Chains A and B, each alone.
Chain A
């Protein structure tokens, strides 16, 4: 049973608009959440993270929101750029140990 779910395999957004990527989890023990971005033929690179004691973390164009009661987190990218086109993975961990990853969402930003 997947503990971290990304229900949208793909998302297309116009350049300059907001991209919202969603992630749901089932394990209430998760206390640390991350987003990774992956280009083809490269390894995932860390994007942004959030601890369970917070509900929002912002870094430039990227903001992650955490709703613990709904067991839901989302990544907002504003404004979206063509270079943001990649696969985005959300991940979660218990006490900062091994990560459990979602299945990924392919974001395509159209010029």
Chain B
């Protein structure tokens, strides 16, 4: 069974701090994703990565960066945290694009609820 693990369930940080959210998957998936979930807005894609050291911007990348040094690990970085980045952050992974046709959807971690004070 696929396991996507996010390092923290809850995190409280202060405005201006540099924040690291870590995600690890154990299924050798090529693709990894970071989303944030906000009430009334659903899940919005921040960044994704389709290979080690590769990254692409999603719909809302401003204020965030990512790092993928190893295949199993994808980190989300808030360079200078602000209160509007208080949210639930969700990491997901999936196999290569072509195998998605056989109904292998994205697998999510349980999320990190981040509060910026």
Contacts and interface: CB of A to CB of B under 8 A. Distances in A.
Interface string A10-42: 000000000000000000000010101000011
B105 A49 contact: yes
B110 A43 contact: yes
B8 interface: no
Interface in A72-111: 89, 91, 95-104
B12 interface: no
Contacts of B110: 41-43
A6 B42 CA distance: 9
Contact of B43 (A32, A44, A97): A44
Contacts of B9: 41
A99 B42 contact: no
Interface stretch (B62-70, B77-85, B96-104): B96-104
B24 interface: no
Interface residues of B, number: 27
Given A46-B107, A101-B35, A103-B40, 19 more contacts: A32-B100, A41-B111, A42-B110, A43-B90, A43-B92, A43-B108, A43-B111, A44-B43, A44-B90, A49-B105, A89-B42, A97-B97, A98-B33, A98-B58, A99-B43, A100-B59, A101-B43, A103-B41, A104-B42
Interface residues of A, number: 26
A89 B100 contact: no
A45 interface: yes
A49 B108 contact: no
B45 A34 contact: no
